Amino acid sequence: MGDVNMYLFAALVIGVFASLIVAVRMLQPLVRAKVGEAEFDRLMMRASIIVHKLEQVGERLGYDGARKKQLAVVGLRKFAEAVGIEVTDELLDDVIEACVYLMNTQKPVVLSAEIGEAEG
């Protein structure tokens, strides 16, 4: 019975990741159409910087995901206003979510074992 639950859980996780990949792939052309190619690239670059910085600093300060997202939205909105890119809340949310997803999928997987376990 435990094996069946494990396989169902694995299938669920794979399904969620596949859905996220499709969503991010479909999102980019829609966002590009809303703001233009150059503006989209600038937003994605700045959002990526903001998201990575908040991931590093937020962990030390004990920020949860909601707080980091709130700060990312504020930071990206200020950037957009400073450079004259018109954005909506939905657009900011989509761009930040895409950057978070890309950051999480690009993290290296680190496998570790106790020295005693590794030596057998």
Report how far residue 98's alpha carbon sits from residue 86's, in angstroms, rounded to the nearest whole number: 19
Inside any domain, residue 117: no
Inside any domain, residue 55: yes
The residue range of the domain holding 93 is 2-111
Domain count, the chain: 1
Inside any domain, residue 119: no
Roughly what angle, to the nearest 10 degrees, separates helices 89-105 and 65-83?
A: 120
Chain-wide mean pLDDT for the chain? 77
pLDDT tens-digit readout, 54-83: 988 888 899 998 999 999 999 999 999 999
**Two structure tokens written together for 36:** 């233009």
Inside any domain, residue 118: no
Report how far residue 62's alpha carbon sits from residue 106's, in angstroms, rounded to the nearest whole number: 23
Model pTM greater than 0.75? Answer: no
Inside any domain, residue 63: yes
Inside any domain, residue 58: yes
Inside any domain, residue 100: yes
Provide the 10 A C-beta neighbour count for residue 80.
Answer: 21
